[in-house]
Amino acid sequence: MKYGIVIPDGMADRPIANLDGRTPLELADTANMDRVVSMGRLGRVRTVPDGHAPGSDIAMMSIVGYDPDKYHPGRAALEAANLGIEIGEADAVFRCNLVTISDEQMADYSAGQITSKEAQVLIDTLNEKLGSDTISFHLGTGYRHIMLVKGAGSMQVECTPPHDILGEEIEPHYPRGKDAKLLTDLMDRARVLFSEHELNRVRLDLDENPASMIWLWGMGRKPRMPSFRERFNVNAAAISAVDLVNGLAKIIGWDRIRVEGATGGLDTNYEGKGEAAVQAVSAYDLVLVHVEATDEAGHAASVESKIEAIHKVDAYIVGPLLARLSEEENFRMMVLPDHPTPIEVRTHTADPVPFALCGSNVAVTRHEVFNEKEADESELIIEPGHELMEYFLFGRA
């Protein structure tokens, strides 16, 4: 059996009043996703269990078959794995965003989609001025980076993701808890460092958002998860430009396929990802393609960008991968977002997401199109979400 999964991050949405109550998914050209539905069945899955924040770390862990209540090591730990950062038994890691602050509000969680090349300059500055024997900063991709704190694994601190507080005052959302002072001090000191940094002066001259400060969140510890092959006897590969997804893949023993021009943004190489997925079918039992662009459009509250990104995922990834899998005697394909990122709230929600499944031993049902409204009418719902993978791999659907 050959398996393919396509995950347009944050693709699901809520009805938008000025779109006559429709969603971007309803308005986008999704001929290939619709074909998956018409060849098989449509359902819903709750990827974010009660008690967890609706982030991609929780949702992606559920999708690949791991119960977050049992295995979740913290978001930053997943990203650190992809960067090759060694986390000791007593260490803690934090997601370190470069963000833009304006009038003491969170103006931009991505510092104007700052490039990795520019970010390297700022990460080097952080290590030079704020780094120590116990604190180090590590370059990730774009605005997404990691801070490692040795010997801090027992820290008690609560942090807020910056994309959850766009347009809000930052002070009430600073890290809190008995061990929060270390983080707040570092954030404030970085803000001073960045305020006169040459790189930011250049960005302002170019009318680009500066990196005003770092925002620390997503605390993680050393992960402990059994391999995917050990659990399911399936070898797999992931195609993504996001450290979180690639880190999770590494931890559970998947190969990670790099695609030139894959950015984790709206400008990602959709065609390259689709071509890589098609080629990978011969070498792996399961190929998963993750695309971040739909999530970025949701955070930006851009209906047009989200519709365009959905269409490109459909045309350049879902279509070619479905065609390639259909050449196999036995195959299954699934399409689903990890979580919703609704335009009107500009952040993640824990609502169940639609999924479409087709292939061998999958019954054909009455549904014809892939969208949230149609999925809500389906009687098929998978809850908890970590049971979806076993259903996808082995269940009679």
Instruction: Measure the CA–CA gap between 359 and 36, rounded to whole angstroms.
Output: 9
CA dihedral 81, 84, 85, 86 (to 10 degrees): 90
Parse the chain into domains and list their residue ranges.
2-70+227-394, 82-220
pLDDT tens across 18-57, in order? 999 999 999 999 999 999 999 999 999 999 999 999 999 9
Per the document, the length of the chain is 397
pLDDT tens by residue, 260-307: 999 999 999 999 999 999 999 999 999 999 999 999 999 999 999 999
pLDDT of residue 397: 60
pTM above 0.95, yes or no: no
pLDDT (0 to 100) of residue 153: 87
* Architecture label for domain 2-70+227-394: 3-Layer(aba) Sandwich (3.40)
Give pLDDT < 70 ranges for the chain. Answer: 397
